[in-house]
Chain A
Amino acid sequence: MTLSLSGATYRYAGAPRDVLLGVDLSVTPGRVLGLIGPNEAGKSTLCLVASGLAPASIGGRLQGSVTVDGVETRSLKPHELAQRCGVLFQNPTTQLSGTAVTVFEELAFGPRNLGLPVDEIVGRVEWALDTLGIAALAPKDPARLSGGQAQLVALASVLALRPAYLVLDEPTSQLDPQGTRLVGDALARLAGETGTGILIVEHKTELLATMADEVAVLDAGHVVAAGPTAQVLADPELLARGVEPPAAVRLRRALDAVGLSLDPALLAEPSVGGAGTIDRPGSGGGRA
């Protein structure tokens, strides 16, 4: 049972060259796979391919094989894919349906499309709200949320379709520090508690260091490195590939260079936020 890409090569409709070249990756339930790489390496394209949106919704040419729990994504229709693999993009506002007047109804949008009975829809919506700790947002107008809250609502809306896998394309890149923390905390909890397999593209290697089990590096359409998070993030090649290593890795390296060392526990210093001064996501959300 995995979401797996094997020898996946993809070219957009009408494009002169392939964006992904023979990519092999697999996401297992309950595990988080981080994907990093320089800009224009093909990370967003990989998200579309892994979630089946490419080629099912946007066309293009896919070679090799992409399977969700053994089923080729090419053989599935978009609404069938949506129930197996959810996908979340960068921009929170374009992902909301724009037709719901409350967050509750926004979450119900997907299950309603499936024609599920009302009581099951209610169950799924409440489960998704609780899982992300945003039950307090349910009666609010989706158009009047902060960026972080809107992104959580978009994520919850995808979760309501109960996919076994999630593909997240830089979910915090357009958020301010408060929104980033809100979404980062929720994602970490989601990975730990629901058994969902998660593929996450993220520039913020610090965030990956805390939540990813494994990390893969994509460069010019190729997977050039993959392995356990700590090992990949400590790869000396990382910066040359255009990826910023986490602060702890950089600091350790800077100290090494002058022959100094520090207690590793100090470098693993958790963030100081949280300590009573920060609103938790479950407390009804921060201020916009």
Chain B
Amino acid sequence: MSIRLVIESVVFVYPDGTRALDGVDLEIGPGELVAIVGQNGSGKSTLVRHLNGLLRPTEGRVLIDGRDAAHFHVAQLAAQVGLAFQNPDRQIFAGRVRAEVAFGPRNLRLRGATLERAVDEALDAVGLTGAADANSYDLGYSRRKLLAIASVLAMRTPVVVLDEPTTGQDARGVARVRSIVERLSAEGRTVITISHDMRFVAETSRRVVVMRAGRIVLDGTPAEVFAQPNWPALASTYLEPTLPARVGARLELGSTPTEASLVAALAARAARAAQEG
């Protein structure tokens, strides 16, 4: 159920003249787990809106599963690429949680038992099964955010894009989002997250794309992107390497963007020292 996404020399200029994308080339293979990072206005949201046709390139083209997105309606592309927006309150409309989650799959012509199952699975994935019959507006912000994610998961799209899924979440919420992402990835779906949370990015993604002023400035694994030589590039877009990355660099252990990688590197060094000593 996985598909390939190709963005080819895409330039996008808003009607007010803002050049939000300034020549972006990006290929995301089936089942990849990618984080897109960069400060507000760097073009992240503009870029992902090209994946389901909400925005159409001024120049260049977007290929979804080998076909030019220009030939399809947003409603058609939505079956391929699910996009959960940052602010849940810009989409929640149904009185009941269940109805909200069913909206997307219903638009994709899911009916009957298939629809029910898609809704149940999505609610389960975000941990809202118990709130299925609650009023959507009675949920707190963090749970409304999970509801918005569930409403996209229920569409069972091969590609899932989550815009800032961890903002406003506490430790449990962040852990929940991480498990959602890992589960989707394990199912072989392509997952793209947009995030300002570098720890989340380093720990959950296998590829990190850094954007600045409408261009991609870094693209690689977390270890590559958070390696010391890239720090100035990160700083230029107000991103900061994680603490484990900074400590690892100070100790000349190489690039250790996550706690686990730093602990492993330290343990390996201790073992070597013990052998030599």
Contact = CB atoms under 8 A, between A and B. Distances in A.
Interface of A: 37-40, 146-147, 173-174, 176-181, 203, 239, 242-244, 247-248, 250-251, 254-255, 258, 260, 262, 266-267, 269, 271-273, 275, 277-278, 286-288
A178 B267 contact: no
Given A39-B142, A251-B243, A266-B250, A273 B168 contact: no
Contact of A247 (B143, B199, B239, B260): B199
Interface in B218-277: 231-232, 235-236, 238-244, 246-247, 250-251, 259-260, 262-263, 266-267, 270
B171 interface: yes
Contact of A272 (B196, B236, B240, B244): B240
Interface string B159-188: 000000001111111100000000000000
B41 A288 contact: yes
A251 B174 CA distance: 18
A203 B168 CA distance: 8
Nearest to B238: A178
A182 B260 CA distance: 30
B243 A267 contact: yes
Interface residues of A: mostly helix, strand, loop or mixed? loop
A260 B40 contact: no
* Category for how many chain B residues contact A: 35 or more
Contact of A269 (B238, B243, B267): B243
Interface of B: 39-41, 140-143, 167-174, 196, 199, 231-232, 235-236, 238-244, 246-247, 250-251, 259-260, 262-263, 266-267, 270
Given A176-B40, A179-B40, A258-B267, A251 B244 contact: yes
Contact of A267 (B168, B169, B247, B263): B247
Contacts of B250: 266, 269
Contact of B231 (A146, A272, A288): A272
Contact of A39 (B170, B199, B260): B170
Contacts of B232: 277
Given A39-B142, A278-B235, A269 B263 contact: no
Contact of A242 (B172, B239, B240, B247): B172
A278 B266 CA distance: 31
A258 to B, nearest CB: 6
Given A39-B140, A258-B263, A260-B267, 11 more contacts: A38-B171, A146-B41, A173-B168, A177-B39, A178-B39, A178-B40, A243-B171, A247-B242, A277-B235, A278-B235, A287-B41
Contacts of A287: 41
B170 A244 contact: yes
Nearest to A170: B168
A244 B262 contact: no
3 closest cross-chain pairs (CB), A and B: A178-B238, A247-B243, A39-B142
B170 A277 contact: no
A40 B247 CA distance: 34
Given A203-B170, A242-B171, A273 B235 contact: yes
Contact of A277 (B140, B169, B236, B260): B236
B259 A250 contact: yes
11 contacts: A38-B170, A147-B40, A176-B40, A177-B239, A244-B170, A250-B259, A254-B263, A255-B266, A260-B266, A273-B240, A287-B41
A243 B238 contact: no
A277 B212 CA distance: 14
A180 B40 CA distance: 12
Interface centre among B140, B142, B243, B267 (most CB of A within 10 A): B243
Given A147-B40, A177-B238, A39 B263 contact: no
A65 to B, nearest CB: 28
